[in-house]
Structure 1
Amino acid sequence: MPAIHIYESALCCDTGVCGPDVDQSLLKVTADVRHLQSLGADIARHNLASDPTAFAADESVRGFLHTVGSKGLPLTMVDGVTVTIGSYPNREQLLSFAGLADEAPAEDRTRPELGLSEKSGGCCGGSTSCC
C-alpha cells in the first residue's frame, strides 16, 4: 500500500478548533486521515511544530522548505512523490492515493464522528487561543 505523508505548518493541534476561528480544512483533513487509517491506509500527518524531525529527515521536504518556505505547506507526498502543495487533498484524492475505494456517499464535512463542530470550544479548552 502506498505511504501517504502530509507535511503541515506549525499548528497547536490537528483539528483546527483552536482559538476563535475554526479552520474547516483542518477539520476535514483530520476526519479524512482518521477514516483512511480505519481502512488500513498507511497515512501520517507531520506538524512542523511537533514533528520537525520528519521534515528534516526527508530530503525532498527539506528542499521544498528551502525553496518555497513554510508558506507553501501543506505538502502531500505519496511514496516520496509530491502530489499536492498549498492545500489539503480531499477524501476522494486521499482514497485514490491510497488505492482504496470509499463506498460511502459524500457526507457533511463537519465530521460528527470526531465530536467536533464549529462551536465545540476547541482542543485548547474554552474560548482562549493557543495558536
Structure 2
Amino acid sequence: MKKMQIFEKAMCCSTGLCGVGVDPELLRVSTVLNALKKNGVEVQRFNLSSSPQEFVDNKVVNNFINEKGIDDLPVTILEGEIVLVGRYPTNGELMKLLNVPMSFLGEKPKSFKIKAAPKSGGCGCGNGDCC
C-alpha cells in the first residue's frame, strides 16, 4: 500500500472541524479519509498545532517549510515526495495517487440503462414467436 501524508496549517483541532463555521473542504477531506480507512487505506494527516514534531521529523516537509514557509500548506506527500502543495487533493486525485477504486468512497461507477424488453404474453418472447 502506498504511503500518503498530508501536512496542514495550524488548526484548533486535528481535523479543523470544530467551532461554529466548518470549512466544507476540511469536512470533505475528513469524510474521504474516513472512507478510505474503512477500506484499509490509511492516509496520515498532521496538523501543525497538534503534531509539530512530525513537521520537524519529516525532512521533506521541514525543508519545504524552511524554503517556502507555512503559507503554502497543506502539503501532500506520497512515498516521501511532495505531490501537491497549497490545496488538498480532490477525490479523484486521491484515488489515482493511491491506486484505489472510487468505490472505496462509496461512489458508484457510471451505470448504463438497459432497455426493457417489449411486453409479450408472459413468456418473454415478442410477437408470439416462442421457442
Normalising by structure 2, we get a TM-score of: 0.74
Q: Structure 1 segments of 4 or more deviating over 4 A?
A: none
Letter in structure 2 aligned against 1:74: P
Check conservation: 1:2, 1:79, Cα contact below 8 A: yes
The total of aligned residue pairs comes to: 106
Check conservation: 1:5, 1:46, Cα contact below 8 A: yes
Which one has more relative contact order, counting CA pairs under 8 Å at least 6 apart? 1
For 1:57 and 1:101, the matched residues in 2 are separated by 32
Check conservation: 2:14, 2:50, Cα contact below 8 A: no
User: Which structure has the bigger radius of gyration?
Assistant: 2
Check conservation: 2:5, 2:44, Cα contact below 8 A: yes
Q: Tell me which moved more, 96-105 or 86-95.
A: 96-105
Letter in structure 2 aligned against 1:79: E
For 1:42 and 1:18, the matched residues in 2 are separated by 22
Letter in structure 2 aligned against 1:98: L
1:119 matched residue in structure 2: none
- What are structure 2's unaligned runs of at least 5 residues? 110-131
1:33 matched residue in structure 2: 33
Cα deviation digits, residues 34-63 of structure 1 (max 9, x gap): 111111113110010111111111111001
Normalising by structure 1, we get a TM-score of: 0.74
2:52 matched residue in structure 1: 52
Check conservation: 2:56, 2:62, Cα contact below 8 A: yes
Cα deviation digits, residues 106-128 of structure 1 (max 9, x gap): 9xxxxxxxxxxxxxxxxxxxxxx
Is 1:61 the counterpart of 2:64? The answer is no
Letter in structure 1 aligned against 2:90: N
The percent identity for this pair of structures is 33
Check conservation: 1:42, 1:98, Cα contact below 8 A: no
